[in-house]
């Protein structure tokens, strides 16, 4: 017996198979996405905490760089040194006094505020954090607050007692 009635079950089966396959693919994509988001690629219990700790250090470095007055530069440089290692620490050691002289000469007063933070990379010994911040800056040249916007890439390295900024660069 051939005719329209005999094709209906085949069509229903094909429709069911197609819908099931689509559902399985969507479910697999969702599960894969969740695995990436919660870090199921190994060390799933420490990764979120490590990422948070790295972000906190990166934010502290960014705000310390973008905030303060000429009078508190020595304290800020020392604070940054406790949060730094590698190339960034070397830069602080070599330019701290120049930084202070420039800020004192211009009587600079600035307040940095973090606008957004993103964890770009997290490994066992390295984290890369991107930070967007705004600094409200006053100086002898600009007595009214001037808002400036910055984006920083902070590369952190793990030390025995936590994360340390190894490199800080402005990004376009």
Asked whether the predicted pLDDT for residue 39 surpasses 50, the reply is: no
pLDDT of residue 149: 95
Q: What pLDDT score does 133 carry?
A: 95
Q: Which of 110, 103, 60, 119 is nearest to 84 (CA)?
A: 60
Q: Which of 13-17, 30-34, 94-98 has the highest mean pLDDT?
A: 94-98
Please state, in angstroms and rounded to a whole number, the distance separating the CA atoms of residues 7 and 20.
20
Q: How confident is the model at residue 44 (pLDDT cuts 50, 70, 90)?
A: very low
Q: What is the pTM of this model?
A: 0.69
Q: Coil, strand, or helix at residue 118?
A: strand
Give residue-wise pLDDT tens across range 76-96: 889 999 999 999 999 988 887
Reported as a single tens digit per residue, the pLDDT across 127-159 is: 999 999 999 988 888 888 889 999 999 999 999
- Give yes or no for residue 40 having a pLDDT over 50: no
């Amino acid at each position: 017996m051939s005719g329209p009635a005999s094709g209906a079950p085949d069509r229903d089966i094909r429709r069911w198979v197609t819908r099931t396959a689509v559902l399985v693919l969507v479910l697999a994509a969702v599960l894969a996405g969740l695995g990436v988001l919660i870090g199921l690629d190994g060390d799933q219990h420490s990764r979120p905490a490590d990422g948070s700790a790295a972000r906190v250090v990166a934010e502290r470095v960014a705000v310390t760089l973008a905030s303060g007055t000429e009078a508190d530069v020595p304290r800020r440089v020392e604070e940054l040194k406790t949060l730094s290692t590698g190339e960034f620490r070397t830069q602080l050691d070599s330019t701290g006094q120049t930084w202070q002289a420039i800020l004192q000469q211009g009587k600079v007063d600035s307040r940095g505020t973090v606008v957004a933070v993103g964890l770009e990379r997290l490994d066992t010994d390295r984290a890369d954090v991107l930070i967007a911040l705004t600094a409200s800056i006053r100086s002898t040249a600009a007595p009214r607050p001037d808002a400036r916007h910055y984006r920083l890439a902070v590369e952190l390295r793990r030390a025995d007692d936590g994360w340390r900024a190894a490199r800080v660069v402005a990004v376009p």
